[in-house]
Each structure stands twice: as structure tokens, then as C-alpha cells.
Amino acid sequence: MTRQRARVGGAVVTDESWRFIDSGPGAGADNMAVDEAMLEALIAGEAPPAIRVYTWRPAAVSLGRFQRADTSVDAEACRRLGIDLVRRPTGGRAILHTLEEVTFSVVVPAERLGTTGVMDSYRALARGIVAALHLLGLEARLAGRAGTPAPPGRALDPACFAVRARCDLVVGSAKLVGCAQVQRGGCILQQNSLPLRIRVDDWQGLFVRADAVPEATGLWEAADREIPYAEVAGALKSGFQAALGIALDEGRLSAGEVARAGELVSTVAVLDRETARGIAPER
């Protein structure tokens, strides 16, 4: 049984350690399947909470859980350019992921955070992200009320980094980290996208989108230096430990998580499953 010790900034601190898993680059379907498998293992009590850091090779577009593929992304352009098209278990809008991004997922029981409601859990986890970005020389904050309704035409943009939501992290007025959650079985999976560089030109021909320039920035532009993946991963580990009062031990996926991810891969790949039939995602 986990023994509660104290509260740190609203987060429950316990004796149990979380896993810190650095997966490095992976294919889009593999990345999404692993996050889903980690959530399932946590719900089943087969694995402890975890933070997983990874990036993308080859490039991939991920769709939010409820986002239509046929009205958001040009699937043929993705196929032609060798870009994977996958569906996230979390919500939100489409993201073009490349090696110029650090993605990190968090799986944790909701009660472990000591939070009530979705936005409260976003705020709790945002403390770790803010602390990590501070270590990299940036002052960030949860968008909160900065996530105001988009101007006409922008609201329909399917690209995540074209708009700000209350759960995203901003530097100044520019979105830097896109965040999305799913809560299931009393547990939370939060997926977070931290682009190192924003290449709006790469969106052309991929997203069915408005032409407005996004209020977003990449880490390198915000920090005015090129920060390597390893340094970002290290800052995330230190930031979450300090902000949430937890111990993060270097870990790996369990055999059960690896096996389950292998079973889930075909369910998150979109190109040949959804776009061929033009169907809406299942709810």
C-alpha cells in the first residue's frame, strides 16, 4: 500500500517512486500504442506511475481522439511524403511530429495528484513542465484565460499549434507546449508536445487549414539557442521531481506493456483504416 507523507503545492507526495522512461525516436503508431499500453497497465495495477520522453522517426501527424481525418489532413499527401498518420488516445487537434520535437507523456492515478476535475489535474502537471522550462532558461505559464476564442477562421483550423487552449503552456503570448489528456479508470494519461522548432511551411499541403499565422514558438526560438534532446529530457526529469516532490527512477517498459503495445499498433494507425473509408472516429 502506498503511504501518503505530505502535500507539495497541492500534489500528493508518497513513498512510491515513478518511472522515468526515455524511449528516444520511434514510429508514430508505436509511440501512441506504448502510451495507451502504459495507461492500461496503470489502471490494472500492473505498473507504477511514469513519465516517458520520446521523439518521432519517421515524421508523423497525430490526430486527436475525436478529430475527423478526412476534414483535417490530406492523407494522400502524408502517404506521398512518407509521413505516418496516427490517432492519439487523448483529445485535441492535429500535430505534425518530427525529430525536431520532444514529446513526453505522463500516466498517474488522479488521486495521486490530489486534484479534482480535469483543469485541476492540468494545473498540477503544469508545475512540472514550468519547472523544467525554467531550468532551460524560460519563464512559462499555463495558458489559462490566455486560451481565448480564436479569431474568425482560426477556430476551425485543425492544427494544434495554430490555436491556444487553457491547458497549453505559453511563453509570453506564444504557445510552446501543447497538452491533451484522457482520464479512464481513475487514471490520467497526459500527452505533451514540445516542438524544438516550428516549421509552418511544412504544414502546407498536409493540414486542411486556415492561412492565419499561429501564435506559437519552438523551444529553440524561445530560448535563443539550440537545446539538444538529452538536455530537454534531463530538465523534464528534474523539473517534475522538484515540482511534484517525487522520485523518478530510470525505468523501462514491462514485458506486458511491450506485448500490449504490439497488439494496439494496428488500432492507432489511420492511413489505411479510417481514411480509406472516410469514417469519423469512434467515440
Asked if 179 is an active-site residue, the reply is no
- The pLDDT confidence band at residue 8, using thresholds 50, 70 and 90, is very low
Q: How far apart are CA 122 and CA 10, in angstroms?
A: 12
Q: What angle do CA 278, 280, 283 make, to 5 degrees?
A: 155
**Which is higher by pLDDT, 110 or 213?**
110
**Which is higher by pLDDT, 203 or 60?**
60
What pLDDT sits at residue 10? 44
Residue 212 has pLDDT above 70, yes or no: no
Q: What share of the chain is helix, strand, coil (3-state, %, to 5)?
A: 30, 30, 40
- What cell was used for 196? 524544438
Pairing outcome for strands 141-142 and 169-171: antiparallel
What pLDDT sits at residue 134? 98
Residue 272, SS3 per DSSP: coil
Residue 224's φ and ψ, nearest 5 degrees, are 60, 35
- All structural domains of the chain, each given as residue ranges with its CATH number in brackets, are 13-268 (3.30.930.10)
What pLDDT sits at residue 3? 39
Q: How far apart are CA 32 and CA 39, in angstroms?
A: 11
What pLDDT sits at residue 246? 95
Residue 227 has pLDDT above 80, yes or no: yes
Side chain identity at 104, as an amino acid letter?
A: F
CA proximity to 64, closest of 143, 157, 127, 129: 157
What pLDDT sits at residue 7? 45
Condensed to tens digits (0 to 9), the pLDDT of residues 12-56 reads 444 569 999 999 999 999 999 999 999 999 999 999 999 999 999
What pLDDT sits at residue 272? 59
Q: How far apart are CA 108 and CA 112, in angstroms?
A: 7
What distance, in Å, lies between the first and last C-alpha atoms of the chain?
A: 35
Q: For the range 10-13, what are the long-range contacts, defined as Cβ-Cβ under 8 Å and sequence gap of 24 or more?
A: 10/113, 10/114, 10/115, 10/123, 10/124, 11/113, 11/114, 11/124, 11/127, 11/243, 11/244, 11/245, 11/246, 12/111, 12/112, 12/113, 12/114, 13/244, 13/245, 13/246
Active-site option among 78, 160, 167, 179: 160
CA proximity to 147, closest of 126, 175, 116, 183: 175
Q: Answer for the pair 124, 10: CB distance below 8 angstroms, yes or no.
A: yes
What pLDDT sits at residue 156? 62
Residue 146 has pLDDT above 80, yes or no: no
What pLDDT sits at residue 279? 38
What pLDDT sits at residue 269? 82
